[in-house]
Structure 1
Amino acid sequence: MNLDLLIVLGLLLGAVTLFVLNKPRMDVVALLVIVALPMTGVLDIQQTLAGFSDPSVVLIAALFVIGDGLVRTGIAYRLGDWLVARAGSSETRLLILLMLSAAGLGSVMSSTGVVAIFIPIALGVAARLKIAPARLMMPLAFAGLISGMLTLVATPPNLVVNSELLRAGLEGFGFFSLTPIGLAVLVLGIGYMLLTRSWLARSGIDADAAPPRLTLSDLAAAYRLNERERRLKVRADSPLARQALNELELRRQYGINVIGVERQRKFRTLLLMATGNTLLEPGDVLLVDLASPTIGLLGVYQQLGLEPMPLATSYFSLHAHELGLAEVALPPESTLPGKTILELGVRSQHKLNVVGLRRHGVALEGVLVDEKLKPSDMLLVAGNWKNIHRLQGLSRDFLVLSLPAEVDEVAPTARKAPYALLSLAVMVGLMVSGLVPNVMAALIGCLLMGAFRCIDLASAYRAIHWPTLILIVGMLPFAHALQQTGGIDLAVKGLVAVLGGAGPYAMLASLFIVTALIGLFISNTATAVLMAPVAIATAQQLGTSPYPFAMIVALAASAAFMTPVSSPVNTLVLGPGQYRFGDFVKVGVPFTLLVMIVSVFLVPLIFPL
């Protein structure tokens, strides 16, 4: 063991110690490594900074942009809506669907990309169901890693091992050779996360964190809006049909405030924000706020030709991506106190509707259009999120106080959703076909997102999570340093010398453990490059089939569950889940041992020794 190797191992131990202590931040530790390595003389500046041009780093940055494009076009939230609809209020069903979806998609594209795409989806679903993000982020990461065990093209280590078989003059693996084992590990992973999610229940809770933001439901409850929401269909014989809202005076005469209109088209339902010029059509479903919950009992519906429609939940929740609420105060310099709500012209001038009024903390009831405002009054307005944001600029007369958390889920380029899907399909198709490297496929996807205006440059740069990239860049030089100083070769040769005479099952387990441990410090692709020839040579020395040994290396290279820096997939969820280093150790180490047991048992059954 030479001096250079001792220096590298010392730096590696110091970095891991700081990771465990979680002080300073992990990206700061990575920067310290980048500064320290050239000063030791083991690596030069170019070798140390080579991570900034590493394809995997560029790939991850591009996938952040792709993921944000899916968010901005609303696709991510639609998938989240689907998960919520299928899961209902069951966290168990949600976790199962999330892991199945992530693993299924990850079997044909980069697991890092899949996790990057699913993170905003999972965070949005967690917020809506009031689940701690920590209970979903690690299951998502584990599903992404397990996806690498499902098909031959799911992850580069599989292809590395397959290439080593071909180089040795043997037949390679088939596309689905890993699938039976991967499916067993996926079932095991889902069951394991269902049992251990309680270990993560408090991982995402920060004592210094800001209090939870108001939601649409909170605002609606504060103004007693839930009691007055209705969906009313305009019948064909309704006297309201083909008339504009400002001509009907529904608010003043009947206490019916129309917020929005659901209008059926051939393939979808349009949501129109109600303004004075909105022309009602037969078949329209009106989203209304009643002055009193008992209006429907007075025969008003029959008189106006309206038919009550089911409303299982608040229509603000159903249309949260388009229809919003905001609490508005009147600043001291406002000229509005003394005017009635109708005189404000909120609907005609700002295309918003006043749906609530609180005075001294009490929500007023009844027809509010003729109510004169007082300086301390608080208004609740409803309408398109774009118009709500525009109201924020009118600081003299209006002061927007409370925007609910759902404002983060607004899709500013929702109309570009088909183009975002096309861009994603092109990227996935290029990755699956292998026509271009994965990083090129991701960059092509980014360019298509930009060309179709799914995302702009400013949003693209904001979408990239720079601390994650710095962490990866800072750890990559260790792989070069360990190879250059002979550390990896020394460890591998020692393993073969000690365990070469053991039985095949013991050797399979040993290969799994060594591969998984090496993968803690270098990329799983580099680990596969080092361990695949060792596995095949070991099998030949023992006089057994090389296929189970090669397969065990491929599986172990994907079993990077033990630390947040053992895989970019884990690093991606570190921030959103607010995990500490020890959280991954606590959950990941036992699961890695379970995966090893299952692999050592199943691999010889499918690939006989």
Structure 2
Amino acid sequence: MNTQLLIVLVLLAAAITMFAIGRPRMDVVAVLMIVGLPLTGVLTVPETLAGFADPNVVLIGALFVVGEALSRTGITYRLGDWLARAAGTSSTRLLVLLMVSVGVLGAVMSSTGVVAIFIPVVLSIAKRLGVSPRRLMMPLSFAALISGMLTLIATAPNLVVDAELRRAGHAGFGFFSITPFGLVILALGVVYMLFARRFLGGADEGVEADDRTTFPALIEKYGLASRERRLRVGRRSPLIGTEADSAVVRRQHGIRVLAVERSRWGQKQLTLGSDPQGFTIKAGDVLLVDVADTEDPQALARRLDASELPLGDGVFVQSSRELGLAEIILPPNSGALGRTVAGLRMRDDHDVDVIGIRHGADNVSRAVSHERLRLGDTLLVVGSWEAIRRLAAPGGDFIALELPVEVEERVPAGRRAPLALLSLAVMIVLMVTGIVPNVVAALIACLLMGVFGCIDMTSAYRAIHWPTLLLIVGMLPFALALDKTGGIDLVASGLADSLGGAAPTVILAGIFIVTAVIGLFVSNTATAVLMAPVAIGIASHLHASPYPFAMVVALAASAAFVTPVSSPVNTLVLDPGRYRFGDFVKVGAPFAVVVLLVAVFLVPVILPLHP
């Protein structure tokens, strides 16, 4: 062993030790390695910083943006809604659909983002079904990890392994090269969790009560059901052709249009009454209206040739990701004191409507437009979430009380969902066909989503998980350093020699076990960076195809089931699932063995060792 190799190994051991103890942060460790490697004289500064120009680093960053656009357009939330409806009251059906849905969605976006989105969805469904979140949270994290085995872009380690293959002079993996293994493992994972869930808790361990404000609670508190109405416009309605926000509607028909629901491209879209004027009412539109308390609801519907729909299951609840509700109060220095609601011009000046007022503990049951405001009043306003946030800005005439829980699932670009799906489809087609490099395909998708309004630049920058990218950039130079100092050849030949004349399956098992063990203490991305060149080096030493060896590394890097710190998705479900460290060991270790067996026996069948 030469001196330079010894220095590189000391640096590598120091990095692994710091990863294991969690101090300092992983991205800080990466920066330390970027600084340390050039000082050893093994690598030049350009060689150390080459990771910043690596196409896969750019690709991973672009995929963060794509995933954020899918969330902002509500695609992921709609999948959660479908899951709740399809599961019904069956916890078994829920578990199966949950794991399949998370697996499919995680195949095209960040698995960490998928888990973060699904946690509140799963908690809500668990509460409704009366089952313990412990029975659902670990299947959620397992499915997210397995999703990394479904497509090339599903997780960063796959891209790292693919990049190492190309760096070694081989053709990389295809978009679906890993998919056959992932589908088998996903099916086995579903079956496994159906039996293993009995070790995770009972149905009597329900979700803790959530005392935060909700839309239904606000609707009941302000008595909206007695005044607000949802009306479907008929073919002969006098409202047809009238602007929703016009004074004609209020003067001639005695109603105030708060929002309009309209189907477009098979998708329900919502236009608020406070939106810019020019939106005309059509037959079939569903209007949320505020009516005078003297108007008989049935007479109103007949007069307007409209059919009345339920309010509670309507626009407020179903459209809560675009439509915001909030309680506001008037501080002592508010300029709104003593003025009427109509005189405040809330729609014109703040893009919201006041739909409820409480004088102390008493509701105002009549139409609120001419109600005069006094100190201590609380108002219920409706508008877009952004308008509500602007209204509640410090220093204004209003102070917002606690926002309802629905604000956590707001969808600022819900109308752009079809365009987001189109952009995603373009990216996948380009990647599958290989017309352009994967990084170019992802950047095209980002540009399309930006042009279509699915995401803005501020959200795009915020979506990129910079510590992950910095970690990859900081660890990539180790592969080159080990290669230049003969470390990869030394490890590859040593592992091959230690296994002697063992069968190829034994060698693959050895690579899987070493990768999985390192992954217990180091992020799966860093593990792939370290093990991919070793696996390819072993293949070269054995004069075998590099693809099965590289594939085993990719599968093992995603098999981080054993500890809650093996992967961010495990860490995310630790608290809501109320798990202990031993729960992951008890349930995750046996399934890691299942993945090992699939990798050892199925990989050589699909990817022959000697093509």
2:148 counterpart of 1:145? yes
- The farther-off stretch of 51-60 and 452-461 is 452-461
- Residue 379 (structure 1) shift: 0.5
- Residue 376 (structure 1) shift: 0.9
Q: Which residue of 1 aligns with 2:332?
A: 332
- Residue 594 (structure 1) shift: 1.7
Q: How many residues align?
A: 576
Q: Which residue of 1 aligns with 2:51?
A: 51
Say which SS state the counterpart of residue 258 (structure 2) adopts.
Answer: strand
Cα distance in structure 2, aligned partners of 1:293 and 1:28: 67
Q: Which residue of 1 aligns with 2:480?
A: 480
- Given that residues 72 and 411 in structure 2 are in contact (C-alpha distance below 8 angstroms), is that contact kept between their aligned partners in structure 1? yes
- Residue 382 (structure 1) shift: 1.2
The structure-2 alpha-carbon separation of the partners of 1:392 and 1:92, relative to structure 1 and needing over 3 Å to count, comes to farther
Q: Which residue of 2 aligns with 1:490?
A: 490
Cα distance in structure 2, aligned partners of 1:41 and 1:563: 35
The structure-2 alpha-carbon separation of the partners of 1:20 and 1:275, relative to structure 1 and needing over 3 Å to count, comes to closer
Q: Which residue of 1 aligns with 2:467?
A: 467
- Residue 57 (structure 1) shift: 1.6
Cα distance in structure 2, aligned partners of 1:40 and 1:371: 76
1:355-394 aligned within 5 A: 355-360=355-360, 363-392=363-392
Q: Which residue of 2 aligns with 1:205?
A: none
Extract unaligned runs of 5+ from structure 2: 128-132, 202-209, 243-247
- The farther-off stretch of 85-94 and 156-165 is 156-165
1:263-342 aligned within 5 A: 263=262, 269-274=268-273, 283-288=284-289, 306-309=306-309, 313-342=313-342
Letter in structure 1 aligned against 2:441: A
Cα distance in structure 2, aligned partners of 1:164 and 1:45: 19
- Given that residues 149 and 179 in structure 2 are in contact (C-alpha distance below 8 angstroms), is that contact kept between their aligned partners in structure 1? no
Q: 1:236-268: CA deviations, max 9, x gaps?
A: 5667777743125646xxxxx753233456855
2:249 counterpart of 1:245? yes
Extract unaligned runs of 5+ from structure 1: 202-210, 252-256, 541-545
The structure-2 alpha-carbon separation of the partners of 1:300 and 1:391, relative to structure 1 and needing over 3 Å to count, comes to same
2:556 counterpart of 1:559? yes
Say which SS state the counterpart of residue 379 (structure 1) adopts.
Answer: strand
Letter in structure 2 aligned against 1:143: I
Cα distance in structure 2, aligned partners of 1:425 and 1:338: 55
Say which SS state the counterpart of residue 336 (structure 2) adopts.
Answer: coil
Q: 1:440-478: CA deviations, max 9, x gaps?
A: 222233333344454443333222222222222233233
- Given that residues 512 and 556 in structure 1 are in contact (C-alpha distance below 8 angstroms), is that contact kept between their aligned partners in structure 2? yes
- Residue 22 (structure 1) shift: 2.9
Q: Which residue of 2 aligns with 1:261?
A: 260
The structure-2 alpha-carbon separation of the partners of 1:267 and 1:461, relative to structure 1 and needing over 3 Å to count, comes to closer
- Residue 526 (structure 1) shift: 6.9
2:60 counterpart of 1:60? yes
TM-score by length of 1: 0.74
- Residue 435 (structure 1) shift: 2.8
- Residue 286 (structure 1) shift: 3.0
- Given that residues 34 and 474 in structure 2 are in contact (C-alpha distance below 8 angstroms), is that contact kept between their aligned partners in structure 1? yes
1:346-357 aligned within 5 A: 346-347=346-347, 350-357=350-357
1:5-84 aligned within 5 A: 5-84=5-84
- Given that residues 95 and 139 in structure 1 are in contact (C-alpha distance below 8 angstroms), is that contact kept between their aligned partners in structure 2? no
The structure-2 alpha-carbon separation of the partners of 1:589 and 1:3, relative to structure 1 and needing over 3 Å to count, comes to farther
- The farther-off stretch of 479-488 and 224-233 is 224-233
- Residue 593 (structure 1) shift: 1.8
Say which SS state the counterpart of residue 148 (structure 2) adopts.
Answer: helix
- Given that residues 20 and 582 in structure 1 are in contact (C-alpha distance below 8 angstroms), is that contact kept between their aligned partners in structure 2? no
- The farther-off stretch of 344-353 and 424-433 is 344-353
Cα distance in structure 2, aligned partners of 1:522 and 1:348: 54
2:111 counterpart of 1:115? yes
1:392-403 aligned within 5 A: 392=392, 395-403=395-403
Q: 1:322-341: CA deviations, max 9, x gaps?
A: 32112222132223223343
The structure-2 alpha-carbon separation of the partners of 1:79 and 1:90, relative to structure 1 and needing over 3 Å to count, comes to same
- Given that residues 149 and 182 in structure 1 are in contact (C-alpha distance below 8 angstroms), is that contact kept between their aligned partners in structure 2? no
Cα distance in structure 2, aligned partners of 1:160 and 1:476: 10
Say which SS state the counterpart of residue 149 (structure 2) adopts.
Answer: helix
- Given that residues 215 and 404 in structure 1 are in contact (C-alpha distance below 8 angstroms), is that contact kept between their aligned partners in structure 2? yes
Letter in structure 2 aligned against 1:352: V
The structure-2 alpha-carbon separation of the partners of 1:43 and 1:225, relative to structure 1 and needing over 3 Å to count, comes to farther
The structure-2 alpha-carbon separation of the partners of 1:341 and 1:561, relative to structure 1 and needing over 3 Å to count, comes to same
Q: 1:154-193: CA deviations, max 9, x gaps?
A: 956887999999989xxx9999886654432111223445
Letter in structure 1 aligned against 2:148: L
Q: 1:95-130: CA deviations, max 9, x gaps?
A: 644543454477xxxx57453774665367458658
- Given that residues 164 and 532 in structure 1 are in contact (C-alpha distance below 8 angstroms), is that contact kept between their aligned partners in structure 2? no
Cα distance in structure 2, aligned partners of 1:81 and 1:605: 39
The structure-2 alpha-carbon separation of the partners of 1:189 and 1:226, relative to structure 1 and needing over 3 Å to count, comes to farther
Q: 1:289-338: CA deviations, max 9, x gaps?
A: 68889976x87656765533356735322112332112222132223223
Q: Which residue of 1 aligns with 2:501?
A: 501
- The farther-off stretch of 5-14 and 322-331 is 5-14
Q: 1:492-546: CA deviations, max 9, x gaps?
A: 32322232234565445334324555776856477455425635865x8xxxxx7
Letter in structure 2 aligned against 1:50: A
1:99-138 aligned within 5 A: 99-101=99-101, 103-104=103-104, 113=109, 115=111, 118=114, 121-122=117-118, 125=121, 135=138, 138=141
Cα distance in structure 2, aligned partners of 1:456 and 1:385: 16
The structure-2 alpha-carbon separation of the partners of 1:21 and 1:365, relative to structure 1 and needing over 3 Å to count, comes to farther
RMSD: 5.1
Say which SS state the counterpart of residue 356 (structure 1) adopts.
Answer: strand
The structure-2 alpha-carbon separation of the partners of 1:54 and 1:126, relative to structure 1 and needing over 3 Å to count, comes to farther
- Residue 369 (structure 1) shift: 4.4
The structure-2 alpha-carbon separation of the partners of 1:147 and 1:279, relative to structure 1 and needing over 3 Å to count, comes to closer
Cα distance in structure 1, aligned partners of 2:38 and 2:168: 37
The structure-2 alpha-carbon separation of the partners of 1:507 and 1:396, relative to structure 1 and needing over 3 Å to count, comes to closer
Cα distance in structure 2, aligned partners of 1:232 and 1:416: 26
1:542-557 aligned within 5 A: 551=548, 554-557=551-554
Cα distance in structure 1, aligned partners of 2:152 and 2:139: 21
- Given that residues 124 and 409 in structure 1 are in contact (C-alpha distance below 8 angstroms), is that contact kept between their aligned partners in structure 2? no
- Residue 61 (structure 1) shift: 1.4
- Residue 377 (structure 1) shift: 0.9
Cα distance in structure 2, aligned partners of 1:220 and 1:591: 47
The structure-2 alpha-carbon separation of the partners of 1:602 and 1:103, relative to structure 1 and needing over 3 Å to count, comes to same
Q: Which residue of 2 aligns with 1:231?
A: 230
The structure-2 alpha-carbon separation of the partners of 1:322 and 1:583, relative to structure 1 and needing over 3 Å to count, comes to farther
- Residue 282 (structure 1) shift: 5.0
Same amino acid, percent of matched pairs: 45
Q: 1:361-389: CA deviations, max 9, x gaps?
A: 56554554454322111111113345434
Say which SS state the counterpart of residue 559 (structure 1) adopts.
Answer: helix
